[in-house]
């Protein structure tokens, strides 16, 4: 902002690319010297995947920075503010804090919880089934709802599914939009039943979690294909270990698309932060039909996972009900995934 006019705007497109401040400076019309920079989050002050934004701000001659909130990353928190002030830049902090934290919900959750922000999604009948007893599931919801759900993948760094979803549906798990990068595809597969012709293996942008029970021949095939593998020395996949490994890889957010066994394991472990539940006006019924959320479940209603900040959206006769859980600051419970 300069002389009450916007002279440049920008946003952070994805991890590894220039931050919003750099994009805004590059888009500036004329000189940024003497301008005010408005950002929702404190600029970075350290070398990570990109150089420090603070250096670029000072070099550009920005005289004032207004940011909603300090960066929750301990490598940055308030250090950039201090450096800017030392360089003679006026810094104002505060205002629209809740909006800024909501805009960066995954980033804040990652640094507060030391694990990825986890959103789960399912498409179900009114009686909570995601497939019939014969595992027929295509399609429960309408095309409009499915397109909306597919576009949600763009908001997350990774998409995660269990092996049963791969075997039954052979999902693509991409955004299917020209020029738009796909999220990392993560599969939980204890014994490596994953077919080499699966769509998730169409390129190297995949990560497979397995165990010592994993088929050794399949393991070598995946390695030769350039697919990343994480092998548990035990007979099951520990969700705690999965989260620790993903945090190590700086995967900030995950969109989990099923199936019911994986969703149940995450709910039981207290690892769900956000829910997208799509419903179609049909009843499937059947004792052996597949439920949206498996696992052990809540023994009593008072321990059931309850959503807050609930939102709704309709797609013709389909409806999305979503919201946040109260698990954000809870300790991860011990849990395993064995499919």
What is the per-residue pLDDT across 41-73, written as a single tens digit (0 to 9) for each? Answer: 889 887 777 788 999 999 999 999 999 998 888
79-86 and 53-60 are packed helices; what angle lies between their axes, rounded to 10 degrees? Answer: 20
Q: Are 103 and 243 in contact (CB under 8 A)?
A: no
Q: Are 237 and 209 in contact (CB under 8 A)?
A: yes
**Rounded Cα distance, 55 and 35, in Å:** 15
Give tens-digit pLDDT for 132-173: 999 888 899 999 999 999 999 999 999 999 999 999 999 999
Position 337 pLDDT exceeds 80: no
pTM for this one? 0.86
Catalytic residues: 21
| Span 234-247, pLDDT tens digits | 999 999 899 999 99
Q: How far apart are CA 111 and CA 71, in angstroms?
A: 9
**Would you say residue 103 has pLDDT above 50?**
yes
Could you please report the per-residue DSSP string of 24-91? HHHT-SS--TT-EEEEEEPPP-S-SSS--HHHHHHHHT--EEEEEE--SSTTTTTHHHHHHHHTT-EE
Share of the chain above pLDDT 90, in %: 72
Q: Are 21 and 43 in contact (CB under 8 A)?
A: yes
pLDDT in tens, 188-226: 999 999 999 999 999 999 999 999 999 999 999 999 999
Residue 334 pLDDT grade (very low, low, confident, very high; cuts 50, 70, 90): low
Question: N- to C-terminal Cα distance for the chain?
Answer: 54
Q: Residue 254 has what pLDDT?
A: 97
Residue in 44, 37, 33, 49 with CA at minimum distance from that of residue 72: 44
């Amino acid at each position: 902002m300069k002389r009450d006019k916007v002279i440049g705007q920008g946003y952070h497109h994805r991890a590894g690319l220039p931050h919003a401040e750099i994009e805004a400076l590059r888009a500036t019309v004329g000189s940024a010297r003497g301008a005010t920079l408005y950002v929702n989050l404190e600029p970075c002050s350290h070398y990570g995947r990109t150089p420090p934004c603070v250096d670029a701000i000072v070099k550009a001659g920005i005289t004032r920075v207004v940011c909603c909130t300090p960066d929750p990353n301990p490598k940055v928190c308030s250090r950039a503010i201090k450096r800017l002030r030392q360089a003679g830049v006026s810094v104002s902090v505060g205002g629209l804090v809740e909006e800024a934290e909501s805009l960066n919900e995954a980033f804040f959750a990652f640094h507060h919880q030391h694990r990825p922000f986890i959103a789960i999604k399912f498409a179900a009948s009114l009686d909570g089934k995601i497939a019939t007893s014969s595992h027929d599931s295509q399609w429960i919801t309408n095309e409009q709802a499915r397109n909306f759900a597919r576009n949600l993948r763009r908001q997350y760094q990774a998409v995660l599914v269990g092996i049963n979803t791969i075997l039954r549906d052979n999902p693509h798990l991409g955004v299917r939009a020209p020029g738009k990068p796909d999220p990392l595809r993560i599969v939980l597969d204890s014994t490596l039943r994953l077919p080499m012709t699966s769509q998730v293996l169409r390129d190297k942008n995949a990560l497979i979690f397995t165990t010592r029970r994993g088929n050794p021949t399949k393991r070598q095939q995946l390695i030769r294909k350039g697919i990343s593998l994480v092998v548990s020395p035990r007979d099951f996949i520990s969700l705690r270990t999965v989260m620790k490994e993903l945090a190590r890889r700086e995967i900030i957010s995950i969109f989990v698309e099923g199936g019911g066994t994986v969703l149940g394991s995450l709910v039981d472990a207290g690892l769900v932060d956000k829910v997208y539940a799509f419903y179609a006006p049909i009843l499937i019924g059947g004792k052996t039909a597949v439920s949206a959320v498996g696992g052990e479940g809540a023994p009593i209603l008072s321990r059931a996972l309850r959503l807050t900040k609930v939102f709704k959206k309709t797609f013709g006769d389909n409806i999305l009900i979503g919201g946040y859980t109260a698990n954000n600051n809870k300790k991860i419970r011990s849990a395993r995934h064995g499919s």
